[in-house]
Chain A
Amino acid sequence: MLSIKEIGKSFGGLKALSNISLDVKEGDIKALIGPNGAGKTTLLNIVSGIYQPDNGEVIFLGEKIVHLAPTKIARKGISRTFQHVELFGNMTVIENIMVGRHAKTKSGFFSSGFKLPFVMKEEREIQRKSEEILEYINLGHRKDEYASNLPIGEQRILEIGRALATEPRLVLLDEPAAGLNMRETRNLGEIIKRIRDELKITIVLVEHDMDLVMRISDSVTVLNFGEVIADGTPLEVQKNPEVIIAYLGDEEEIPRGYNAHT
């Protein structure tokens, strides 16, 4: 459903991505892994329209989306979360989800002020739907708390819930397990799987937690220095010698006389 074709992107003299191509199948959980600085987040930012690539195409459901603004891309059905949580901190948990409903609802700026009947009807619908989503991600008990007061684990899940509220076809998750403990990570994994299995939403996941990646993803793409070095099932990728080198380093590269104990 998403295909990325020969995407290149430089920041000044730094080549962040060079000729990246990859495909995401509908209904897959696709993991993007790679060492820090490999270009994973840059790629997500290109797909969601925050960055414009220097060359290449992004095709979503048969449509080129590279030139579109982030808002337009969101409305096409791609939602996302952020590496550094971008919740609306001064708003309550339920309100965060309700903002997610914005693009799917339409009562206007000026009709809202007059409390017209159709506005009220839609407002109740937003409220109902948002509560439903909160229950779905098990945050119902936090409903009226300020988002910034939640522990990081719940903030990350709330961000996913907010993305779900836009009724996306594809969700991009940028390091959803960062800062989470083992129990929270397991819970996160369950939620991601449920979203795919029950809501039929395709997922692209950038993640450093290999345990989570290997457990939930259907396919894994490995980036290193802005290039794809491996692509396949979790098992295939784990055995790929290039991947092992990228992660652990090449034995021969270790300088002579290097002593790990000093």
Chain B
Amino acid sequence: MKKGDLTAFLVFVLLIILLPVFSGSNYTLTVGIFSGINALVAIGLCILMGYAGQVSLGQAGFYGIGAYVSSVLSLHGGFPILISAILAMIVAAIAAMILAVPALRLKGHYLAVATLGFGEIIYIILNEWGPGGPSGFGDIPHFSFLGYAVDSTIGYFYLIWGLVAAVMFFSINLIHSRSGRALRAIHDSELACNAMGLNVVALKIKVFILSAVYASLAGSLYAHYVTFISPSSFSLFYSILVLMMVIVGGITNLWGAIIGAVVITVLPELLRRFEELDVLVYGLILTLSLMFFKKGLVPILIEKIKKLRGFAIAKH
């Protein structure tokens, strides 16, 4: 990790540890848990879109696979939850590969529509063949690890954000590695990538799988936390919500995915006081933020800090 990222990462870990200490109400922690779950999906989409330049409007599909496969395996198959979550990730990875091979020949809008179609297919499958059909099913066991059930809110908070930290650590390393550079290069010029001997197709498939695995993990965590799932949580709306998180936070920066996920998750909670008008205000804030912070919150924040530093240096 580079110096800036390392500092950010340490601050991030400290925040995770301290938040429950200072604001330990169940309500805050629950909102925190949902933010963390969304952050996992958003980080994957951020790598896929912001770094590798591949669009996806189907992340809800992978999220749904994670939730359903893990729930069904643990509830009906008697698998330990850790194993069912891992199996769900494998299923999501296979689905991503099957989708990626034809879809990644497409670019831009066409890829967006292809992935959107994939998300819809998963949604329809869950509705038609998922346990409980459109009304979903419950009694999904809580997360347990080596015999310890994670059933307290604070325990779940630490579990989720610990995983977000781990995924973030992995992702930052990846981005600054040989493969991460290759992904960014694909974004800029596939023609040049080919001339450099990069296997563009293989790289695209891998990054697609990675984003699917993150989303699947998030889906499993969601299912075992809420203990009740129905297809409506995995519709196109969720894919768009994640897209919104990534864009509001700043698509070119991994930290943007986390900030975006927190903002988009917390905002509706803060807007409760507007009662019936909350959706309206929510939409207004999002529109304004896209108009005035086009690059996203994190990149703009970094620019501001750099400017301030510039002033400080100039004064000396």
Contact = CB atoms under 8 A, between A and B. Distances in A.
Interface of A: 48-50, 69-71, 74-75, 79-80, 82, 86-91, 95, 98-103, 105, 107-109, 112-115, 119, 122-123, 126, 162-163, 165-166
A99 B185 contact: yes
* B contacts with A: majority SS: helix
Contacts of B184: 88, 90-91, 95
Contacts of A113: 170-171, 173-174, 177
- What are the 5 tightest A-B residue pairs by CB atom distance, in nearest-first order? A103-B197, A112-B177, A74-B197, A70-B194, A113-B170
B151 interface: no
A74 B170 CA distance: 30
Contact of A119 (B177, B181, B185): B177
B188 A88 contact: yes
Contact of B182 (A50, A69, A99): A99
Given A82-B191, A86-B192, A114 B198 contact: no
Q: Taking each of B170, B171, B179, which has the highest tally of chain A beta carbons within 10 Å of its own beta carbon?
A: B179
Interface string B145-169: 0000000000000000000000000
A82 B192 contact: yes
B189 interface: yes
B296 interface: no
Contact of A107 (B178, B189, B198, B200): B178
Contacts of B198: 71, 99, 102-103
A79 B194 CA distance: 10
A165 B195 CA distance: 12
A163 to B, nearest CB: 8
B178 A122 contact: yes
B96 to A, nearest CB: 13
A89 B188 contact: yes
A123 B185 contact: no
Contact of B194 (A71, A123, A162): A71
B199 interface: yes
Interface in B179-221: 179-182, 184-185, 187-189, 191-200, 203, 206, 210
Given A90-B187, A105-B178, A112-B173, A74 B195 contact: yes
Given A95-B181, A108-B179, A113-B170, A75 B188 contact: no
A87 B188 contact: yes
Contacts of B187: 90
Contacts, number: 99
A137 B74 CA distance: 60
A182 B180 CA distance: 38
Given A71-B200, A114-B173, A166-B197, A86 B191 contact: yes
Contacts of B210: 109
Nearest to B189: A86
Contacts of A101: 178
A124 to B, nearest CB: 12
A201 B248 CA distance: 48
12 contacts: A48-B195, A70-B194, A71-B199, A74-B195, A79-B196, A82-B192, A86-B195, A88-B188, A90-B188, A98-B178, A99-B196, A108-B179
A114 B170 contact: yes
Contacts of B206: 109
Nearest to B190: A86
B196 to A, nearest CB: 5
B172 to A, nearest CB: 9
A123 B177 contact: yes
Nearest to A95: B181
A130 to B, nearest CB: 11
B188 A102 contact: no
Contacts of B173: 112-115
Contact of B179 (A49, A70, A87, A109): A109
Contacts of A100: 196
A90 B188 CA distance: 7
A109 B187 CA distance: 17
Contacts of B203: 109
Nearest to B171: A113
A126 to B, nearest CB: 7
A50 B193 CA distance: 12
Contacts of A50: 191, 194
